[in-house]
Amino acid sequence: MFQRLCRTLYVCHSSSQVLDLIRLVANILSEVVQTVYAVRPGPGRHSESIRLGALLDKWLLDLPEHLRFDPSNWKKPHLPSPFVLTLHMQYWCVVLILHRPL
C-alpha cells in the first residue's frame, strides 16, 4: 500500500491534493481500522461508526472545487485527472470498509 501511495503522490499537481490524500488515507482510514476493527472493540462501536461516517462526509464536502467529482454532473469531454479519480476511489473504499458487515 505504501508503494501505491508514493506513486500516487508522485503524479499530484498541487500540495492541496497531497494533503487531502494524506488526510483521507492516514487519518480517517487508520481511525476506522483502530475503532471499528479493534481486537477488543469497545461498547460504542455503532456511535463511533456514525462519527467516522460524519468525518468522511465532512472531508468530501470540504474538498476544494478542483478536486471534486460528481459522476451525475460529469461531462464527457472534461474527464477529471487520474489523481482526482483515484482520490475519490480511495474515499469510497474507506466508506465501504467503514460500513461493511462485521
Q: What whole-number distance in Å separates Cα of residue 88 and Cα of residue 70? A: 10
For the chain, the DSSP string reads: -HHHHHHHHHT-SSHHHHHHHHIIIIIIIHHHHHHHS-SS--TTHHHHHHHHHHHHHHHHHTS-GGG---GGG--TTSPPPHHHHHHHHHHHHHHHHHHS--
Residue 6 included in any domain: no
Task: Provide the domain count of the chain.
Answer: 1
Question: Model-level pTM greater than 0.75?
Answer: no
Residue 35 structural domain:
15-68+77-99
Residue 5 included in any domain: no
Residue-wise pLDDT for 17-40, tens only, equals 666 776 777 788 888 888 877 776
Tens-of-pLDDT digits for all 102 residues of the chain?
A: 444 544 554 455 566 666 677 677 778 888 888 887 777 666 677 888 899 999 999 888 888 888 888 877 767 667 778 888 888 888 898 999 888 876
